[in-house]
Structure 1
Amino acid sequence: LRRTKHLLRVPCDSGKISNQTNSIECTFCPDDFWSNIDRTVCVLKIVEFLAYDSLGIALTVISVVGASLTIAVFAVFFYHRNTAIVRVNNSVLSFFILFALTLCFLCSLVFIGEPTYWSCMLRHTIFSITFSFCISCILGKTLVVLAAFTATTPGDNIMKWLGPKQQRAIIFICTVIQVVICAAWLIESPPFPSRNTQYEISKIILECSVGSSLAFWCVLGYIGLQACLCFILAFLARKLPGNFNEAKVITFSMLIFCAVWLSFVPAYISSPGKYADAVESFAILASSFGLLFCLFAPKCFIILLKPEKNTRQHLMGK
């Protein structure tokens, strides 16, 4: 008789239950619940976000290591600030870039943890402003390198238009444009936390909705525009004379930067839930490491291991 009653039981679809053996009706589970395997009871849905689990901890460690390496490079440059390689390559802009890279490494930490109203607003705005500031500094340095090597005669005096004040003005203006875009984004349609139950109906995926998609892509597009402009200018100056032409390393660093973020876009779009945040955090860290090593590893190598090459005569070459 028990077996007959078991056979009479109607199997329910996912999300429905029937807690009576001979029942022919199934009832829906509440919004935050899902049916168990036997379809006899409703259980809480799994809540998923980029938490401090193995993935979150790994990203945190990489972020802290990157920031620590940047601070170490800053200390090396500050200690050797009167040497040729630091002075020839514009020490002030180098310190600005290192400060910006430290912020870039640390801003990836905002993507870890449960999304809240404030964290969602801070995620993309802090990331976009810090990276825009960093690329603006590199753009300013590229313009200085290009101007210094193209001023072939004393009468050109092109460097008077790219003095320290003008360099800071370029960095300020380029960064303020991004700040204005972010301010308009936050005022008009800011990012907000959302509960995604459509991608996988048995789970609740906590994520940050971007609010205005147009503003989100404008922010990324502006950073891409800065990087492309910096790459083009550095590419034009790559064959200029000098044993340590910084335009070469800037060209390579911008190439890596653009490659990382071009591969990020399809990966971000196709990644669900916490993996989208992990992909964006990884892209931030990968591009930051690329800039740090390409721009500063050759200089640190000469400063620490080849001090005999750290002379103005060797660096200027022909």
Structure 2
Amino acid sequence: MAKIKVGILGATGNVGQRFIQVLNNHPWFEISALAASERSAGKAYADVADWKVGTEIPDSVSDLTVVPIDPKNIDADIVFSALPADLAMTIEPAFAKEGFVVASNASSFRMEQDIPLVIPEVNPEHLGLIDVQKKNRKWDGCIITNPNCSTIMMSVTLKPLLQFGIQNINVATLQAISGAGYNGVYAMSIYDNVVPFIGGEEEKIETETLKIFGSFDGQKVNNANFKVSAACHRVPVIDGHTESVWADLKSKPKPEEVRDAFLKFDPGLSHLPTEPKHPIIVRDEKDRPQPRLDRDMGKGMSVSVGRIREGIRYVALGHNTIRGAAGASVLNAELLHKKGYL
């Protein structure tokens, strides 16, 4: 079977490099185009990418010529967008109008009423918004988004808790510096320090979660009726976001019941290549999960949980640039393919 051609927008950046890592040797997808800024265009990828991923640049892309970010330059069926939100606001619709499926990691369109904000393990039915979107906007293509990295980790763990009736969620995040990009946090600001503010992050968690867990009525998503309150902190960790979650659950389950729900969680996505064998991993050690020890579980796609206590309180952790970014978009694209949208 011929592989599906994919392009990467913003291919030289942090998330763009993770896209290349996740897509390397993918059984369904083949990278056919790498797009970046004009200063990189026309040059071999290996010559312009300041490669930071802990592996060699794959041979399949090292000699590819980087092209400008323009639909006419891309030979692909789907493009993965690792663009900053301000650029994505105009570029992504331009690609969708030209018939491309855009799997976006940017925040620009996540909360648009007719654009799906999807985590395959949580709300695959929201893909139905694609048909609404195409009709509303008269696009041949479409945009599908994945949530904020912290929202993804928390939402995956909340899905098996729906059976207990979610009333309110409070979360405190300890977020890795890679979430701000390679040049996003100055060394003197983060060494020996915790920064108790990440612009827009708390609002994203508090609003995106409600859309993700909302009900799709065939035309729009009606937000979930519980409340989310977030406090976000930047910490001196390279990769891996840690979250302390307080879940107010209607049926007041015991910690053992919650642990069992996590262990039994099976979203039925084993047919998707990027889906990990265990989307949620339970750590029973008293001091786990930890970023350095647990962020790469399931090739970076598993969310680890631990310290499940009365309340219900627990700690969740996941790889922010894989599970929370590039891997999430690739998993969305795999689901799209299986549903016939590619």
**Normalising by structure 1, what TM-score?**
0.32
Question: Which protein is richer in strand relative to its size?
Answer: 2
| Rg larger for | 1
Which structure has more relative contact order (CA 8 Å, sep 6+)? It is: 1
**Normalising by structure 2, what TM-score?**
0.30
